[in-house]
Structure 1
Amino acid sequence: MSTFLHPRRVEQPTDAAIPDLTPRHFLSGWDAAKFDELKYSFGLTGVDQVGNFIWVDTFLYILVGLAAVLLGLRITHMWWRHNRHLSTMGNPTRQAYWATNRTSWWPWLNRHLLSAPLWKKKHNAQFQISNAIDNGTLPGRWHTIMLVTYVGLNFAWCVALPYKVLDHKATIAALRGRSGTLAALNLIPTVLFALRNNPLIPLLQVSYDDFNLFHRWAARITILESIVHTVAWMYNTGHGAGWTAIANGLRTEGSYGWGMVGTVAFTLIGIQAWSPIRHAFYETFLNIHRLCAIAALVGLYKHLEMHKLPQIPWMHLIFLFWGAEWIIRGLSILYYGFSLKKKSSVTVEAMPGEAVRITIDLVREWTPRPGCHVHIWMPAMSLWSSHPFSVAWAPTLTPDSKEMTLPILEGDSLSLPGAPQKSKQINLVVRARTGLTRKMYERACKSPSESFTTWGFIEGPYGGHHSLDSYGTVVLFAGGVGITHQVMYMKHLVGGFNNGTTSTQKIVLIWTVPSSDCLEWVRPWMDEVLRMKGRKQCLRIKLFISRPKGRVESSSETVKMYSGRPQPAALIEEEVRNRVGAVAVTVCASGGMADNVRAAVRPWLTEGCVDFIEEAFTY
């Protein structure tokens, strides 16, 4: 791998070994002294290639080492949960052993580092300077440590230059080489972490949201180092022969011209990806972002290729990643969206509370899994952009008739025990915000039946890597349309409780909605769950109506309704103190509610075997 990153490894270049990259034709007619002034502007004169390769190797070893540590921790955690699952499923009397922590260091690390916000409790709540400026979210404590280390190392590598030289322009040349090498190197994780089909996501079971955070910071480092690389070249060139030499170089030398194209495109990406601009005009941002990324990659590749620099294989790797991503996405669209007889369709139905329920009829079967999401494309309404949404429901097919199962009476089997669950449909619930979601809602409201059908297709499904099967107690928090992430878990866990295939004995859903009208979003699916066999023995539902229009009444002992907002601390304390086995607390809600749940869970991480899982889309 090291050979691939720098296949043309060379020792510190001497005058005889330096390739003649100087554009002599646009310097012709100048005296020898002026030409000598520019020797640090072109080629590898003054560039510390040995140091560059040392930092490339160091970066590579750190990245591989970190991935190995994370993979080892992930495998250990999976092995632990698998043993817990095998020893407790369907047997509530064997849960006590797993209800307490068996080590002290891991719960402490989880509470104070891995699950901790940066400071106090703010993490996914929007970080705003004012009501008009949205600066996104704050990284967690563990993410911050990794980011500070990453940024600090890049800064240290850029200042670790050969200063013991007589001519300061040689140091500037070394900075030019170092910053250019690091910019090209950092572009590899920048592109890899942006991919929806990043192979590290299922391997390490790290969410795309986390990788997207590191993508943004790797991109910022790449952009800054590209600018430093360009400014260092301009400084030595301008200092040696003035602005005329800079202009001549950009005009007559293709490599420098293409390099400037790449730097300008990277700079534009950095400006328009600023959080307030990105969130205010997200769909416009995506389109401009893609165009600028293409221009930057082409410009950088031409810059390296025309000078035959050793970083060219890195660009081949980047193009391989990006090309494989689009091929996989295209195959996913074709597989689920097209057949010889038909193509997939999307039905959008207006719902109370400014929401829409989306039904996607696929042309081929897929295997539903709790916690997954899809990207939906609707060319008639948003030509270039796809949007991620959690899969709320997927009606299963019976093995014989291949018909969608329908609930009849409580206790009736919805599918054969142990049979593989397949579906040809995906259901989503989406709140109308801006852009595509607002267009869908307004068009559905204007339709005669408050619904319409159009052509559309999906990418994915993605995610769904978190299994809750080994936990004796599962607490599901949902805020608004965050219920879409939890309904599939409820169905899966209730079915597992009935069939004896999961360890879960207690399932608690805590759902907050503005008004009782919003319950219509998932009523048909919730009715199906409530009719499942064994549901009353394992499932309790607590509905909180934050802005009730009248008196709130509970419908049964296992389904209770309350007015106002939930108090996560009290609810979690009740469930943890009365837990069966290990406890999993998951949340899919607004940033503020998710942060409150996180703050309520953290004290219990060291008191019992409790895990916290958060689903967020902080794009």
Structure 2
Amino acid sequence: MARPPRLLLLLLAGVAAAANLCETTCLSMAGAYSYSDCTADTPSTTEPCCTSAAYSGTYSLCLARCAAKQRLATWKTFQSTCGLALCSSNSSYDDVYAYALDHYVEVADVDLTTEVYEAVEFGESSFNANFAYYKAKAGNALSNKIYGAAIAGYWLVIIGLAILMRLYRAIFDRSIHPRGAISRAIQTYVALPAFFGHSHAEPVRIFGFPVGLQPLRWQAFVVLGYVVANLLLVVAEFDVSYAAADVQSVFIQTLSFYSKRTGVMAVAMMVPMFVFSGRNTYLMLLTGWSNDTFKLFHRWIARVLVVDAIVHSIMETMYLVQLHSYKAYVTESVFRIIGITTTGVACIIAVQSAYYFRRRFFEGFLSTHILLALFFLVALGFHVMSTVYLRLIYACAGIYACDRLLRIGRVLYGNLSGHADMRANRDATQIRVRPAIAFRYRAGQYAYVYTLRLNFWQANPFSIAECRERGREYVFVAKKFDRVTARLHDAARTTTNSGNVMASATGTRVWIEGPYGATYPLERYASVLLVAGGVGITAVMSYAMQLKRAERICMVHVHWVVREKENVRWVDAQLAQLAMAENFDIHIHVTAARKDDGEREPITIKFGEKDPGITTYEFAEYNGNDDDDGADLNDEYADMTASLVTRFTAAKNVTFHYGRPVLRRLVRYTSELEGGSMAVFACGPGSMTDGVREAIVQELWRSPERRIDYFEDSFS
């Protein structure tokens, strides 16, 4: 690091430690011996032996080498600590020192293994070496606190910048106008692209095995800055006293320093890690970051924390081995046993949080993760109990408790008498929740749904497709995907006494927690392109309904990619309303069809393949559903779906297509068709949102003068 900051740091260290540095040195030197008149079981290098006249004499002889002001202040502290103990500690310093000068032994004549009957006189070189050692130790302790605060402050600065940028956009960017050269370059090369290539929401695979999601370029820069800052602060210049080599070698001092520095850095990261772990609805609103961004930062903070904890444990072990006291320290010190346990739990959490386990076993991962994290927090609290860093553990516990209490309060406030009606389609469940109290809702938000009859202790996030009756009713669509949504789907399929399967369940006790998430000002743009994949239509539909009700009318293009045409049942009521709006252009892309024998036939015709414009293909005749699963339900849905398709096809602004759209052509065509500013919102599988993002980046390269802003809600 630069010399001036280091000099300032040493100056601060000298001011802070001047009052007790002499005391620390003399306590350590005098406490190294066993005194015959000391009633303490074992000597202590941190607490005085108040009952020993020999100890008091040794202590006074050591203080004689300190400055007069420090010497008298330290002796006063010694007297107040010992009180009216039956020894010379309640005498004046001059009296005790004068007596010790007549009754002392040289340090060279004393054996640490035998009892001492008189005061011990330390040589000047021995005192200077110990003083230099504790001075360096005090300076390093202060620098550890400063650098620990710096690594936590890094995230405070990042959050502050995000809030300022969002405030700037809210005040000065209310009217959508073309971007300047710098703003356009940031959007094209930093804000939108993935770090490498175009895969962001789709997992990166190594030999076909998913290993994680790639951050956006701006997110990667933030994480990279954090990792580099942590590395620089860990290896930053520190004070090793060569004058103290007689006390501890330079190598042992270095091991001790790195052990302390990495330990402090790991504890300092706890607060930002817990801040990013909660649902933090207010921080999300202030920064405009998505829940995915919060969790990305949470994971990277935790990963660096684990690395620092491992280095801390390794350096501490090497330090104790060099002192030839590893076994004694570890087996007899609960402090170090808990420290080893804490590091082990941190490593388990890191492995358990791998992308594969999160994605494949989410329910088990979440429950186990919370239990391990709480155990880690408590164990770390015991490990740092005797230090000032215990306050950080209290802060983390407070953050977690407040987050949980606020969530419980939000759930109980509006759901004590709430209930829901559920309707099961072939592969999805429509949930209409009516909470007891209306919530404030904005388009694009989501909520956590608790189904009390299934698992009241765990909630799953679902996008809100529509808010009705001024917040009195929320509509969700849950695609049958994993165990939770499958159980939800089965719960909606109730069985009557006659054995018939019903497609709906009324009055089900369902609680919601939310709404969460930020909303995007799509209504400010001249045109809007909404792209949905599968059940991603729920988030898209919330914006579509808002744009339909907006005072400012803009042209809205909706493209929904679904596997089968009966999926229109998911949002049939909303589609019926949008089909009547003149400023809406709706396209439904069906990626599979039926042969006469009922088997699936993939359609390979792509959007725009024959013509640069919109190409409509005739919809195949509906032949029912041949799947065995839910056959009774599908018979009921067949006629309804066929009539819906007929009704939507009859509308001039609703078009059905076979095959997947070519996203690059779709974005380019819509941009050229409308002109002016355009907002693009996408929600769907990772491969689709990555494709839309890449298409927009390419369009910005091709037409840099255009104002195209991209917003995303990916459920990958």
Specify if TM > 0.5. Answer: yes
Amino acid at match of 1:546: T
Secondary structure (helix, strand or coil) at the match of 1:365 reads coil
CA distance in 2 between partners of 1:511 and 1:181 (Å): 51
1:365-385 Cα deviation digits (max 9, x unpaired): 123321000011124322432
- How far is 1:489 from its partner? 1.0
In the alignment, does 2:577 pair up with 1:510?
Answer: no
How has the CA–CA distance of structure 1 residues 50 and 152 changed in structure 2, closer, same or farther, with 3 Å as cutoff? same
1:540 to 585, 588, 599: 585
Contact 2:494–2:505, Cα closer than 8 Å, also in 1: no
In the alignment, does 2:556 pair up with 1:476?
Answer: no
CA distance in 1 between partners of 2:269 and 2:434 (Å): 41
2:480 to 432, 440, 450: 432
1:576 to 664, 671, 687: 671
Secondary structure (helix, strand or coil) at the match of 1:160 reads coil
CA distance in 1 between partners of 2:473 and 2:656 (Å): 31
Amino acid at match of 1:452: A
1:312 is matched with which residue?
390
- How far is 1:491 from its partner? 1.2
Contact 1:506–1:580, Cα closer than 8 Å, also in 2: no
1:612 is matched with which residue?
710
- Correspondence list, 1:185-264, <5 A: 185-249=268-332, 253-264=333-344
Contact 2:579–2:653, Cα closer than 8 Å, also in 1: no
1:63-83 Cα deviation digits (max 9, x unpaired): 343333322222222224424
TM-score, normalising length: structure 2: 0.71
How has the CA–CA distance of structure 1 residues 247 and 61 changed in structure 2, closer, same or farther, with 3 Å as cutoff? closer
In the alignment, does 2:572 pair up with 1:520?
Answer: no
TM-score, normalising length: structure 1: 0.81
After superposing the two structures, state which structure 1 stretch, 310-319 or 471-480, moved more: 310-319
CA distance in 2 between partners of 1:385 and 1:485 (Å): 22
Secondary structure (helix, strand or coil) at the match of 1:237 reads helix
How has the CA–CA distance of structure 1 residues 176 and 351 changed in structure 2, closer, same or farther, with 3 Å as cutoff? same
2:594 to 540, 549, 556: 549
CA distance in 1 between partners of 2:181 and 2:334 (Å): 61
Contact 2:285–2:518, Cα closer than 8 Å, also in 1: no
CA distance in 1 between partners of 2:408 and 2:709 (Å): 36
After superposing the two structures, state which structure 1 stretch, 164-173 or 383-392, moved more: 164-173
CA distance in 1 between partners of 2:193 and 2:587 (Å): 27
1:89 is matched with which residue?
none
Amino acid at match of 2:214: L
How has the CA–CA distance of structure 1 residues 390 and 32 changed in structure 2, closer, same or farther, with 3 Å as cutoff? farther
- How far is 1:463 from its partner? 1.1
Contact 2:21–2:135, Cα closer than 8 Å, also in 1: no
2:7 is matched with which residue?
none
- Correspondence list, 1:487-506, <5 A: 487-496=541-550, 501-502=551-552, 504-506=553-555
1:279-335 Cα deviation digits (max 9, x unpaired): 221111111111111111111122222x2x122222222222111101110111011
After superposing the two structures, state which structure 1 stretch, 65-74 or 133-142, moved more: 65-74
1:67 is matched with which residue?
159
1:412 is matched with which residue?
none
CA distance in 1 between partners of 2:650 and 2:588 (Å): 10
How has the CA–CA distance of structure 1 residues 233 and 559 changed in structure 2, closer, same or farther, with 3 Å as cutoff? same
How has the CA–CA distance of structure 1 residues 539 and 80 changed in structure 2, closer, same or farther, with 3 Å as cutoff? farther
CA distance in 1 between partners of 2:229 and 2:706 (Å): 37
2:457 to 358, 371, 384: 384
Amino acid at match of 1:485: A
- How far is 1:364 from its partner? 1.1
2:169 is matched with which residue?
77
After superposing the two structures, state which structure 1 stretch, 516-525 or 150-159, moved more: 150-159
- How far is 1:442 from its partner? 3.4
Contact 2:152–2:268, Cα closer than 8 Å, also in 1: no
Gaps in structure 1 of 5+ consecutive residues? 1-5, 85-97, 397-421
CA distance in 1 between partners of 2:361 and 2:713 (Å): 23
How has the CA–CA distance of structure 1 residues 59 and 549 changed in structure 2, closer, same or farther, with 3 Å as cutoff? same
Question: Stretches of 4+ moved more than 6 A in 1?
Answer: 22-29
More RCO (CA 8 Å, sep 6+): 1
CA distance in 1 between partners of 2:320 and 2:650 (Å): 78
CA distance in 1 between partners of 2:203 and 2:135 (Å): 46
- How far is 1:227 from its partner? 2.1
CA distance in 2 between partners of 1:45 and 1:268 (Å): 36
- How far is 1:242 from its partner? 4.8
Secondary structure (helix, strand or coil) at the match of 1:543 reads strand
1:277 is matched with which residue?
357
1:81-131 Cα deviation digits (max 9, x unpaired): 4245xxxxxxxxxxxxx3xx2411101110111101112211111222245
2:687 is matched with which residue?
592
Contact 1:183–1:225, Cα closer than 8 Å, also in 2: yes
CA distance in 1 between partners of 2:687 and 2:135 (Å): 53
1:399 is matched with which residue?
none
- How far is 1:425 from its partner? 1.6
CA distance in 2 between partners of 1:596 and 1:140 (Å): 14
How has the CA–CA distance of structure 1 residues 488 and 257 changed in structure 2, closer, same or farther, with 3 Å as cutoff? same
How has the CA–CA distance of structure 1 residues 198 and 263 changed in structure 2, closer, same or farther, with 3 Å as cutoff? farther
The structure having more radius of gyration, on CA atoms, is 2
Overall identity of the aligned pairs, in %: 22
Secondary structure (helix, strand or coil) at the match of 1:193 reads helix
After superposing the two structures, state which structure 1 stretch, 197-206 or 280-289, moved more: 197-206
2:631 is matched with which residue?
none
Contact 1:237–1:245, Cα closer than 8 Å, also in 2: no
CA distance in 2 between partners of 1:261 and 1:61 (Å): 28
How has the CA–CA distance of structure 1 residues 433 and 27 changed in structure 2, closer, same or farther, with 3 Å as cutoff? farther
1:404 is matched with which residue?
none
Contact 2:211–2:356, Cα closer than 8 Å, also in 1: yes
In the alignment, does 2:523 pair up with 1:450?
Answer: no
Secondary structure (helix, strand or coil) at the match of 2:482 reads coil
CA distance in 2 between partners of 1:562 and 1:63 (Å): 47
CA distance in 2 between partners of 1:436 and 1:202 (Å): 28
How has the CA–CA distance of structure 1 residues 348 and 32 changed in structure 2, closer, same or farther, with 3 Å as cutoff? farther
Secondary structure (helix, strand or coil) at the match of 1:364 reads coil
Secondary structure (helix, strand or coil) at the match of 1:392 reads strand
CA distance in 1 between partners of 2:199 and 2:155 (Å): 29
1:407 is matched with which residue?
none
2:191 is matched with which residue?
114
In the alignment, does 2:334 pair up with 1:334?
Answer: no
Tell me how many residue pairs correspond in the alignment.
545
Amino acid at match of 2:463: S
2:424 is matched with which residue?
350
CA distance in 1 between partners of 2:24 and 2:594 (Å): 81
1:362 to 426, 429, 435: 435
CA distance in 2 between partners of 1:80 and 1:144 (Å): 27
1:567-598 Cα deviation digits (max 9, x unpaired): 11111112211325321001001000111101
CA distance in 2 between partners of 1:379 and 1:238 (Å): 55
Amino acid at match of 1:184: V
CA distance in 1 between partners of 2:562 and 2:325 (Å): 66
1:17 is matched with which residue?
24
- Correspondence list, 1:284-323, <5 A: 284-305=364-385, 307=386, 309-323=387-401
- How far is 1:32 from its partner? 4.8
- How far is 1:171 from its partner? 0.7
Contact 1:197–1:328, Cα closer than 8 Å, also in 2: no
In the alignment, does 2:260 pair up with 1:183?
Answer: no
After superposing the two structures, state which structure 1 stretch, 481-490 or 51-60, moved more: 51-60
Gaps in structure 2 of 5+ consecutive residues? 1-11, 35-39, 45-110, 114-125, 243-248, 496-500, 596-617, 621-648
Secondary structure (helix, strand or coil) at the match of 2:465 reads coil
Contact 1:373–1:464, Cα closer than 8 Å, also in 2: no
CA distance in 2 between partners of 1:247 and 1:26 (Å): 21
How has the CA–CA distance of structure 1 residues 63 and 287 changed in structure 2, closer, same or farther, with 3 Å as cutoff? closer
How has the CA–CA distance of structure 1 residues 451 and 242 changed in structure 2, closer, same or farther, with 3 Å as cutoff? farther
- How far is 1:163 from its partner? 7.2
Amino acid at match of 2:212: G
Structure with the bigger percentage of helix? 2
